Amino acid sequence: MPDTQDAIATLTRIAQDPHAYAQGWKRQHQRKVIGTFPMNFPAELVHAAGALPVVVQDDRAPITLGRTLMYEFYCGYARSLTDQAATRKLGVFDAFLVVDHCVALLGAVDAMRFELPEQPVFLAQYMASMDEEWTPPEVRKQVESLQTQLEELCAVTITKEALAHSIRAFNRNRQLLRQVYDLRRSGRTRITATQMQTLVKSSMVMDIEEHTAILSGLVGALEAERETAPNLVRLHLSGHFCHGPRPELLDVIESCGAVVVDDDLYTGFRYISTDVPEDGDPVDALTRWYFDRNTRVPCATRAQKNVDWESYLLGSLKNSGAAGVVILMVKFCEPHMLYYPELRKALLRAQVPHLLIETEHEGLAVESIRVRMEAFLEQIRRPAVTTA
């Protein structure tokens, strides 16, 4: 059985340098690497075409040339994508595929088209209004369009059998990651927030079968260890739709005397929350997945009458036993900024302590955040004051 730390160290190296991994995979397999973007792209299509799907990550480097292509009031992820294109860091990708997510991402994709004219960019316009009768058939058309474009790009025919195989492969990986989440929520093992993010981010960039092989051994090792998590304040992390929070931010949160037991981050539970149905036509299944995942973990960028993020969040807190919520809001993330008042009202009504931390691509006020976290945790720990 593999050593837990060795497995996590391997996945950490890959998550920190996904381009190096993709370049090595391309050399070994002599096939295409396709860059995809958050949050709703069906990676199974790329896998079924024989290519490697890689969710393009933000870059730690300060933004330089990208400043001439995108306004400063766009989110850090969008500006990072633009800068990576301008500084020619995206050469490993043979093409980019994106499902419409938000205005900032579309702006970044347009800048990438301008900077990288030799690398095709395919856009699928998934409808954001989930309740309309015409939305499912229109989304299905977009899935079919993506399939056609991939077949032309990779010079293959994506058969139903190949797509069904890919769906099963990704479902298996998601299920294993959810097992790790279950172990963390239960307190039977200690997985830090940074380690959990590493497990998910590495699944976004690796060959899915290779990742599953490592993950299978890791889950077995975690179940065997049964390391009881220390008695710390249990927290839920919420937000960050497109890219991962800085590891040093996650480390600060937990170093103050907390343990993160659940989240709805994109580089977290949001990404792995929902399996693609394995019954029936696989294109229909990928269409259903788009709707199922928003029902499972609602997103502020989608409009659906019968689900809301605040109800989901309160249900998650009940399930995990988290005593408070840390909301990580990316600076200039308009969907999150617009939805936050509803979340805040719901948390206040339920008397759930929460702390809002705004994050930015460049600059992290570590000590300021540490002071705020310590005060927040003290607020949770202290007994309620009662009056006669």
Q: How many C-beta atoms lie closer than 10 Å to residue 228's C-beta?
A: 10
Paired tokens of 74: 């766009």
Instruction: Give percent above pLDDT 70 in the chain.
Output: 97
**Residue 298 pLDDT > 60:** yes
Residue 53 is predicted with a pLDDT of: 98
Instruction: Give percent above pLDDT 90 in the chain.
Output: 87
Angle 366-381/247-255 helices, nearest 10 degrees? 40
Residue 385 is predicted with a pLDDT of: 44
Residue 227 is predicted with a pLDDT of: 63
Kindly report the average pLDDT of the chain as a whole number. 93
Backbone torsion region of residue 91, taken as left when φ is above 0, otherwise alpha when ψ lies between -120 and 50, otherwise beta:
alpha
Sketch out the chain's domains with CATH numbers.
13-156 (3.40.50.11890)
Residue 246 is predicted with a pLDDT of: 95
Q: What average pLDDT does range 133-154 have in this prediction?
A: 96
- Listed residue (172, 324, 355) closest to 261, CA to CA: 324
**Residue 321 pLDDT > 50:** yes
- Length of the chain, in residues: 388
**Residue 132 pLDDT > 50:** yes
Q: What is the CA radius of gyration of the chain?
A: 21
Would you place residue 1 in the very low, low, confident or very high pLDDT band (cuts 50, 70, 90)? very low
Residue 162 is predicted with a pLDDT of: 98
Question: pLDDT higher for 240 or 229?
Answer: 240
Residue 2 is predicted with a pLDDT of: 53
Q: pLDDT tens digits for 277-295?
A: 999 999 999 999 999 999 9
Q: pTM to 2 decimals?
A: 0.94
**Residue 134 pLDDT > 60:** yes
Residue 363 is predicted with a pLDDT of: 80
